[in-house]
Amino acid sequence: MPEPLIWKKRIRTIRDFNYSDIMQAGVLRERLLHSSYSLTESRIILEISRRTSLTATDLSRDLGLDPGYLSRLLGRLETGGVIERPRSKRDGRRRVLKLTPGGKRIAGLLNRRVDDDIAEYLAGLTECDQSRLMDAIHVINEINDSRGNRIADSRYFLREAEPSDAERIARGYEALFEQTFGSAGEFRQALTDTAALLFEITDLRQAHCWIAEMNGESVGSIVLEQLDQDRLHIKLLMVEPKRRGLGIGGSLLDQAIRFANGTDSKQMLIWTIRDQRRLQGMLSKRGFKQTDRPTVSYYGMSFEVESWTLDLRE
């Protein structure tokens, strides 16, 4: 066995290595060292333990987890008394992830077990193979870092939603709502009503939805409904957190505007949560004007919003 400091450094190097690569190598077991938590749950607990001001959106992006799946896992951990989700002191719209006192004890145990598991893995290698492994990890990290500096493949396309998309659309918006505001109990009714407007067969279709797809995945969507005879309302707009910054939100807005300009409506309206600067910029660029900053009630919930309107071509 090498010197203790070298030994600890090698354990740390493997721990810092991408978790998915460790799992593929067989270093971490599906049930992390016989704990009562799955590998994914253990990853979440460990990630929360080492970072501050972490949100569900951050976790979804960094661990590559589906927002809906992550939301369910976080709900189980919260119910089990492992984590809590207080509102951020800096931004009351955001909920941060924190370990409870019991969660911190669990994280400490998991950390010790991970170190022991990696030590057991290393002990089965010769000194020469341990050194080769460290070199290989450094090379992989260098390649991944250089890859990250290149422009990612940002090709996506838009299509109109179909009835088979209803559940996926609802799940995406529900997960985003839970990450931002907490329990989505009341909001589920809004999603049910929206699906009825989109997909129930009527003489006059009252709403339309477009989905952005990338590499076979849904990465964003927009829902446009007829508010009254003269106005169309952008009811829902979402881009998956890990796909933001690629222009998807703007493309969805442009599609909705093109459709609206082909109708008899005179104005398009959108309500946004206050002070969303990126969205404000997207709206301003397309000619939307902020008209009001009301507090609105929506399915039993109260929100401080901004009202933006766009005059459509006659």
Model confidence over 208-234: pLDDT tens digits?
Answer: 889 998 877 788 889 898 888 889 999
- Yes or no: domain 4-148 corresponds to CATH 1.10.10.10: yes
* Cα 280 from Cα 233, distance rounded (Å): 16
**Which amino acid appears at position 17 of this protein?**
F
Confidence of residue 205 (pLDDT cuts 50, 70, 90): low
Q: Is 155 exposed, middle or buried (0-12, 13-18, 19+ CB in 10 A)?
A: exposed
User: Among residues 134, 136, 139, 148, which one has the least CA distance to residue 62?
Assistant: 148
Question: Could you give the residue ranges of the DSSP H alpha helices within 124-247?
Answer: 127-148, 166-181, 187-199
Mean pLDDT of 35-53: 82
- 69-90 tens-digit pLDDT: 888 889 999 999 999 988 766 6
* Cα 148 from Cα 142, distance rounded (Å): 10
Domain residue limits, the chain: 4-148, 157-311
pLDDT at 103 over 90: yes
Token code pair at residue 235? 């009811």
Strands 267-273 and 231-239: parallel
* Cα 269 from Cα 256, distance rounded (Å): 11
Q: Output the average pLDDT for the chain.
A: 79
From the candidate CATH numbers 3.40.50.11390, 3.30.300.30, 2.60.40.1180, 3.40.630.30, the one assigned to the domain spanning 157-311: 3.40.630.30
* Cα 9 from Cα 174, distance rounded (Å): 42
User: Among residues 90, 94, 84, 86, which one has the least CA distance to residue 58?
Assistant: 94
For the chain, percent of residues with pLDDT exceeding 90? 19
